[in-house]
Chains A and B, each alone.
Chain A
Amino acid sequence: MDLAFLSSTMLTLIAAIPMTLALFALSVSLGGMLALVVVWMRVGGNPVLAAIAKGYIFVFRGSPLLIQMFLIFYGLAQFSVIRYGPLWPLLREPFVCAVLSLALCTAGYSAEIFRGGIRAVSAKDIEAARSIGMSGPLLVRRILAPIAFRHALPAYSTEIVLMMKSTALASLVTVWEVTGVAQRLIHQTYRTMEVFLCAALIYLALNFIVLQALGLLEHRLSRHLRPVPGGR
């Protein structure tokens, strides 16, 4: 064990964590918002919107994320509307392409997870809300969404953890996040095992923290399911 090498590798990789976290945070939040739009289209009752949402979900769940990322990174430049459009300075950035493809992809999965959560809301809860005069956005905000989110949270947690790992793909479109930096180190040192081991430890540590946070959230949101400590 070459501790000196391991620790210098660790330090180099740790310096790339902010990039990994930026990819993760942006794509999860953008993807989450997009998922809300997609799921609203999917279950909102308009057949045209529902078909578009279904198509969207199929495309982004049905094809490899890596290929989606390549298509966005290499493919967008093919369209002159984009190439000469106002957003090009943004869209030619590898980081932006990576966030975009990660967000688009997770939106497809998350929309299905949210839909599952909505389906699990009992008609009784909805009827109780209607019977006191709730409807539309108020009913969604006060009753439907809180209950659906609780049902969706375990599956959504898994999706979030997967997203942390998916950020590694951004290295293939030249974003210098943890995996990208690790590969660069390997090219320089040819010490594959040690470098990737360090990288794996970093992802484990990051996901450990994320899972703790999600676990805490789930714990807080499921008070009503637990027996009361010490009777009542």
Chain B
Amino acid sequence: MTAQPRLSIRDIRKSFGTLEVLKGISLDARDGDVISLLGASGSGKSTFLRCINLLETPTSGRVFVDGEEIRMLQKNGKTVPASQKQVDHIRSELGMVFQSFNLWSHMTVLENVIEGPVHVLKRPKAECIAEAEALLEKVGIADKRHVYPAHMSGGQQQRAAIARALAMKPKVMLFDEPTSALDPELVGEVLRVMRALAEEGMTMLVVTHEMGFARNVSNRVVFMREGLIESSGSPEEMFGSVASPAFRQFIGHYGN
């Protein structure tokens, strides 16, 4: 059985002006893969994640979601998406969780969660509300459904943001340092939700500095350095004796 990857990225490059941030990255995520992306600040992790759902337009390279390639074309010497409609569709299949939650502050938690299903997927509202309430139950904030984001802790907001992304029934979830903006005592509640998702078989790409998550939850660890994948492997390989010296030095900094 050669299942086609959920997500396939081929030789992505990205430059900001003359600064080349991504220098050719390829990565496959199969169904149920949980891939931790590690790397020093400025190594291009966020840019890479944002290139996948085209929040940044890659300078070159190809992205496939469930076999569907995001079509690009050249316009005045710049690479641009060929079809905004396709980009919207692809984005609706990729859940994104941001470091600073990015909940819409003028909407309650429930309104945040149903916004996409109701207005992007155009599904019946009652159905979406029922599903949203189940999701909020799952991430443990059902009692907060009518609360505005500003009235919740960071951990609760991030769990709401995860629920918002899940409400789109994404094929892959992308996390960009989901716990980095949280007080240490709130990190655990978000990691627990992510772990539960992983155990359910969600395909996940997680930029993180949480070595515990990388080691214990993900099935693959990818180490980025200066816009390239320096090394990658199973957690056993990466945290064992065969790890590359650069990666060992990197994790040394994180005291793990």
Interface residues in chain A, defined as those with a beta carbon under 8 Å from any beta carbon in chain B: 124-125, 127-136, 138, 142-143, 146-147, 150, 221, 223-225, 227-228, 232
When A and B form their complex, which 3 residue pairs have the shortest distance between CB atoms, in order from nearest? A133-B92, A224-B148, A132-B116
24 A-B contact pairs sorted by A residue (CB < 8 Å): A125-B102, A127-B98, A128-B98, A131-B53, A131-B96, A132-B115, A132-B164, A132-B165, A133-B88, A133-B116, A133-B120, A134-B88, A134-B119, A135-B87, A135-B88, A143-B104, A146-B106, A147-B104, A147-B106, A223-B148, A224-B106, A224-B148, A224-B149, A228-B147
Cβ–Cβ < 8 Å partners of A125 in chain B: 102, 104-105
Q: Encode B149-189 as 1/0 by CB contact (under 8 A) with A.
A: 11100000000000011001000000000000000000000
Main secondary structure on A side of the interface with B: helix
Interface centre among B53, B91, B106, B107 (most CB of A within 10 A): B106
- Inter-chain contacts of A127 with B (CB < 8 A): 55, 98, 102
Find the A residue at minimum CB distance from B93.
A133
Asked if B43 CB lies within 8 Å of chain A CBs, one says: no
The interface of chain B, by Cβ under 8 A from chain A, is 53, 55, 84, 87-92, 94-96, 98, 100, 102-108, 115-116, 119-120, 147-151, 164-165, 168
CB B108 to nearest CB in A, in angstroms, measures 8
Give the contacting residue for A128; candidates B84, B103, B120; CB below 8 A: B103
Query: Given the interface contacts A133-B120, A134-B120, does A142 sit within 8 Å of B106 by beta carbon?
Result: no
Which of chain A's residues have a CB closer than 8 A to the CB of B108?
A: 224
Q: Compute how far the CA of A225 lies from the CA of B90 in the bound complex, rounded to whole angstroms.
A: 34
Q: A131-B53, A142-B115 are in contact. Are A150 and B106 (CB under 8 A)?
A: yes
Shortest CB distance B36–A (Å): 20
List the B residue with the shortest CB-CB distance to A149.
B106
A219 CB to closest chain B CB (Å) equals 13
Nearest chain B CB to A23 CB, angstrom units: 33
Query: Nearest residue in A to B94 (C-beta to C-beta)?
Result: A131
Distance, CA A143 to CA B103, complexed state (A): 11
Residues of A within 8 A of B103 (CB): 128
Contacts of B151 in A (CB 8 A): 227-228, 232
Contact: A133 with B168, CB < 8 Å?
A: yes
Bound complex: CA A142 to CA B55 (Å): 19
Kindly provide the distance from the CB of B165 to the nearest chain A CB, expressed in whole angstroms: 7
Complex alpha-carbon distance, A124 and B103, angstroms:
8
Is the beta-carbon distance between A130 and B102 smaller than 8 angstroms? Answer: no
Chain B residues whose C-beta falls within 8 Å of the C-beta of A225 in the assembled complex: 150
A132-B91, A133-B90 known, 6 other contacts, Cβ within 8 Å: A130-B55, A132-B164, A132-B168, A143-B104, A150-B106, A224-B106
Contact yes or no, A124 B102, CB < 8 A:
yes
Q: A232 contacts which of B89, B92, B147, B165 (Cβ < 8 Å)?
A: B147
Known contacts A127-B98, A232-B151: A132-B92 contact under CB 8 Å: yes
- The answer for the CA separation of A185 and B132 in the assembled complex, in Å, is 65
Q: Which residues of B contact A147 (CB under 8 A)?
A: 104, 106
Contact indicator A142/B96 (Cβ below 8 Å): no
* Residues of chain A with a CB closer than 8 A to B148's CB: 223-224
| Chain B residues positioned under 8 Å from A146 (CB to CB) | 106
Please give me the residue from chain B that is nearest to A147 by CB atom.
Answer: B106
